[in-house]
Amino acid sequence: MTYGTVTTVSAGGGHTFSKANRDSVTLLAGLGVEGDAHAGVTVKHRSRVAQDPTRPNLRQVHLIHEELFTELSGAGFTVAPGELGENLTTRGIDLLALPTGTLLRIGDDAVVEVTGLRNPCLQIEAFQEGLLKQVVGRDATGAVVRKAGVMSVVRQGGVIRTGDTVAAELPGGPHRPLERV
C-alpha cells in the first residue's frame, strides 16, 4: 500500500468555484461530502446536469495533491487548499498515477474509489488568468496531461480530519489508467 496524509478538508453548499476549509467533513456512502453541492447519486456539476441529469455521479469527492500548489507557486501562482474546489487536499501520495478503481482508505472509516481525473474547466482561468495552462498541458508525445486532481465516489462513509492517513489500495490487474470524468 501507498500512504499519504490529508492536509486540508473543504466543502461548500453552493455551486461556487472554491470551497471553505473545515475542521472535518463527513463522507456519506454513495453520496459524497455531507452538505457539499456536489453530493448525490446523480451528477451535480451544472454542465453535466444540463447534458443528462440522470447520469451517475462519479465526482462525489474531489482530491488534489498539495504538491500541485508548490508547483504552481514556482510558476508564479498562489493557490491555497480548497480554492480549486477540492474536498480533500493530500500530501505524499501520487494521486494522478493511481489506476481507475483504486480504493483510498482515509482516516478511521472512510473509503473512496477513484473514478478518474478532474477535467479542468474555464472557471480555473477565471479564478487566475493563465492557471488553466498550468493544470492542463501536453507531454512530450502530445498527449493531454490533467493535473487538477482526481474524482472519486464514496464506498464507505466516515469523518475525515486534517492529519488523517490516506492509504491507497490498488485494484487487481490489469490496471486501467485514469481518464477524465
Query: What pLDDT is recorded for position 149?
Result: 98
Distances (CA, A) of 76 to 69, 72, 130: 10, 6, 10
Which H/E stretch holds residue 7?
Answer: strand 2-11
> How far apart, in whole angstroms, are the C-alpha atoms of residue 142 and residue 102?
26
What cell does 140 get? 512530450
| Domain contains 10 | yes
For the chain, 181 residues long, give each residue's pLDDT as a single digit of tens. 789 999 999 999 988 889 999 999 999 999 999 999 999 999 887 777 788 889 999 999 999 999 999 999 999 999 999 999 999 999 999 999 999 999 999 999 999 999 999 998 889 999 999 999 999 999 999 999 999 999 999 999 999 999 999 999 999 989 999 999 9
Q: Are 81 and 74 in contact (CB under 8 A)?
A: no
| Residues in Cβ contact with 123 at an 8 Å cutoff, skipping those fewer than 6 apart | 17, 85
Q: Going by DSSP bridges, is the β-strand pair 2-11/165-169 parallel, antiparallel, or unpaired? A: antiparallel
**What's the pTM?**
0.96
Residue range(s) defining the domain that contains residue 154: 2-169
| Domain contains 96 | yes
Beta bridge partners of 11: 20
Which H/E stretch holds residue 146?
Answer: strand 144-146
Query: What pLDDT is recorded for position 49?
Result: 78
Q: How many separate domains does the chain show?
A: 1
Cis peptide before 174 (omega within 30 of 0): yes
| Domain contains 181 | no
Q: How many CA atoms lie within 13 A of 129 on its CB side?
A: 0
Query: What pLDDT is recorded for position 164?
Result: 98
Query: What pLDDT is recorded for position 2?
Result: 85
> How far apart, in whole angstroms, are the C-alpha atoms of residue 103 and residue 110?
10
| Domain contains 177 | no
Residue 54 belongs to a domain with what CATH number?
A: 2.40.33.20
Query: What pLDDT is recorded for position 80?
Result: 97
| Domain contains 180 | no
